[in-house]
Amino acid sequence: MGWKKTPPMSEPFDPYQQWLGIAKNEQPANHYRLLGIEPFESDEKVINAAAEQRLSYLSNFKNTQQGADAQKLESAVSSARVCLINPRTKARYDEQLRTQLKTAPTASNSRVTRPPRPAAVDPMAPVAAPPPQPAPAPMGQAAAVPSTPPHPAAAPTQVPNVQPAANNESAGFAVDTAAPKLERRSTVYRAEDAEPPETAPLTLGIPLIPFLGLSALVIALLAILIVFVQNRKARQNVVVEQGPAAIELPDEIDESTVGKRVIVPEGVVAQDEQGDLLLSADMAKVTGSADPSGDVIHWTPDIESIRWEVLVSKPGMFMIEATYAATGDAAGDEAKFSIAGRKVYLRVRDTGGWNSFVTDQTKMVVIKSAGQYELTATAYEPQSGQTLMHLKAVRLRRAAVGKRPSE
């Protein structure tokens, strides 16, 4: 009776390796490896393009058996992009990554330390001839002992700018303390030279002029860093009150508002504690013929634009959410939202009736600096010619650093 061969067990599915090509020894991957870009990449366009490419590829697996893994990787890719396009969080992350790379074990740390190699011998140096051997004495006679003339007194030699170690063998060369020979390997001249070269005066080894230039460069960089930090502080104005006597934020950075209480102007919406901006219908400024209906805007074709004045004290990335109701007549039409020079679009869908409100999201927009902005909503190339929606509210939800906004 023969034995049946058991088939090998299949390895568990690894989405990082199968989809993104990140091997197991590279996991957990850093943000740059996760996006497939060079470490410490600073170009925001490159970072956004890499993230969009990853998200577009991962979206193909949402409706498969690995849909949960695809959603997890999409969240990780979006978190990496949010962190790297924000200069402050990117600088903090790069510093931590450099520390990790420095402290990681390398192959050089595990090498065995070898003793220093002996000093190389100059093949062109003269070699002393061996002393002559006496001829053998005839039978019956004692061998003559040659008389050796005394060695001449050796002139004292100087080793220029060299301090030998206490243990000469550990210093990497040997020092002969006997009579002078034709060549000393530990010096830069030979003993037969008439005079040894003059020794150079002992210095610190750093020329004065380059040292002063380097010091001036370091001081200039520190001054630039101080100015940069002060400008960053000037952009962070704390909103604490709201009232008619308003201190409006200037278009340019004004040092006079730093650290002071900023009062929100009348009719301007400020961020809450989480950094969100909640824009209700009654706070909007409608251009065109509008139907006054309290807390809901009937967005008819006669409305040219809907605007809100907002005050941003905590810049960052924002997800625009619209709470509205619509019927099938306007399904497929789009609303365009513009703020800080950026535009996003919301496709209208049938919510089931004018009293059935839903909340849909658009893509993210980036507001890089604090200040007063205007959010404008317009109908984008309407096709139906009917009422676009009943708009109840718009929220700019600020994304937490390193996290995707909640769906």
CA dist 269 and 278 (Å) reads: 8
Instruction: State how beta strands 268-270 and 303-312 pair.
Output: parallel
Phi, psi of 49 (to 5 degrees): -65, -40
pLDDT of the residue at 329: 85
Query: Is 176 contained in some domain?
Result: no
Neighbours of 143 (CB within 10 A): 10
Closest CA to 52 of 32, 31, 77, 21: 77
Bridge partners, 286 (sequence order): 306
Q: In Å, what is the CA distance from 319 to each residue of 16, 55, 213?
A: 27, 17, 48
Query: Is 212 contained in some domain?
Result: no
Domain holding 62: CATH number? 1.10.287
Residue type, 316: G
Inter-helix orientation angle 44-58/67-84, to 10°: 170
Phi, psi of 223 (to 5 degrees): -65, -40
CA dist 84 and 43 (Å) reads: 10
Helix, strand, or coil (residue 75) = helix
Query: Is 263 contained in some domain?
Result: no
Tell me how many domains the chain contains: 2
CA dist 380 and 343 (Å) reads: 11
What parts of the chain have a pLDDT lower than 70?
Answer: 1-10, 104-206, 232-262, 290-294, 384, 401-407
Instruction: Report the chain's C-alpha Rg in angstroms.
Output: 40
Query: Is 227 contained in some domain?
Result: no
Q: Tell me the pLDDT tens digit for each residue of 266-287.
A: 889 999 988 999 998 888 889 8
Domain holding 321: CATH number? 2.60.120.260
With the C-alpha atoms ordered 64, 67, 71, 73, is the resulting torsion angle positive or negative?
negative
Q: Which domain holds residue 88?
A: 15-98
Query: Is 103 contained in some domain?
Result: no
Q: Which helix (H) or strand (E) covers residue 82, if one does?
A: helix 67-84
CA dist 57 and 18 (Å) reads: 12
pLDDT of the residue at 343: 92
E strand segments, 174-254: 239-242
pLDDT of the residue at 350: 92
Q: Which of 71, 98, 125 is the last residue of a domain?
A: 98
Gap between the terminal Cα atoms of the chain: 61
CA dist 154 and 175 (Å) reads: 15
Q: Which of 83, 98, 113 is the last residue of a domain?
A: 98
Q: Tell me the pLDDT tens digit for each residue of 194-228.
A: 555 555 555 555 678 888 888 999 999 999 999 88
pLDDT of the residue at 122: 54
Q: Which of 42, 71, 98 is the last residue of a domain?
A: 98
Helix, strand, or coil (residue 63) = coil
Q: How many contiguous H segments (helices) and E segments (strands) does the chain have?
A: 6, 13
Query: Is 331 contained in some domain?
Result: yes
Query: Is 386 contained in some domain?
Result: yes
pLDDT of the residue at 154: 46
Cis amide linkage into residue 28, ω under 30° from 0 = yes
Bridge partners, 311 (sequence order): 270, 372
Query: Is 53 contained in some domain?
Result: yes
CA dist 74 and 61 (Å) reads: 11
DSSP 8-state class, residue 59:
G
